[in-house]
Amino acid sequence: EIVLTQSPGTLSLSPGERATLSCRASQSISSSYLAWYQRKSGQAPRLLIYAASSRATGIPDRFSGSGSGTDFTLTITRLEPADIAVYYCQQYGSSLYTFGQGTKLEIK
C-alpha cells in the first residue's frame, strides 16, 4: 500500500504570502492519479487539483499543483484569510485510494 506523507504538519503564514505544501509518496505514482483537496472547518472537502496540476472547476489560479514520481507540491500564492483549512493530497492506484495525513494552514 502506498503511503503519502505530507509536510509540514502545520504552516503559519501571513496574508499575501506564498504557501508551499509537500506530498511525498512511498513509491512512484502516476501523476494522473494525484489530487489535492481543501477541507475547511465544518465543511466537506473540496477538490482543488487533479492529475497533479489541473485545477478543478471554479478554483482560482492562486492554487497550483506540480510534481511527478514521488514528490508533489501544492502552491497557494497571495494567501487570503479564507484559505485557512487543512489540505490533503490523495492518490489512486491498484484499486486503492490513499490520503495524506493533511497540512493545516494557518493565517497569522
Partner 1 sequence: EVQVVQSGAEVKKPGESLKISCTTSGYTFTNYWIAWVRQVSGKGLEWMGIIWPYDSDTRYSPSFQGQVTISADKSINTAYLQWSSLKASDTATYYCARADFYYYYLDVWGKGTTVTVSS
Binding site for partner 1 (CB under 8 A): 1, 32-33, 35, 37, 39, 43-47, 50-51, 56, 86, 88, 90, 92, 95-102
Q: Which residues partner with 23 through β-bridges?
A: 6, 72
Which residue reads 489541473 in cell numbers?
Answer: 54
- Residue 19 or 87: the one with the smaller Cβ distance to partner 1 is 87
- Residue 3 or 18: the one with the smaller Cβ distance to partner 1 is 3
- Residue 94: what residue type? S
Q: Pick the closest to residue 53 from 71, 77, 74 (CA basis).
A: 74
- Residue 14 or 41: the one with the smaller Cβ distance to partner 1 is 41
Closest distance of CB 51 from partner 1, Å: 5
- Residue 18 or 28: the one with the smaller Cβ distance to partner 1 is 28
Closest distance of CB 6 from partner 1, Å: 9
**CA 51/CA 40 separation, integer angstroms:** 22
**CA 13/CA 33 separation, integer angstroms:** 29
Closest distance of CB 78 from partner 1, Å: 25
User: Are 66 and 12 within 8 A, CB to CB?
Assistant: no
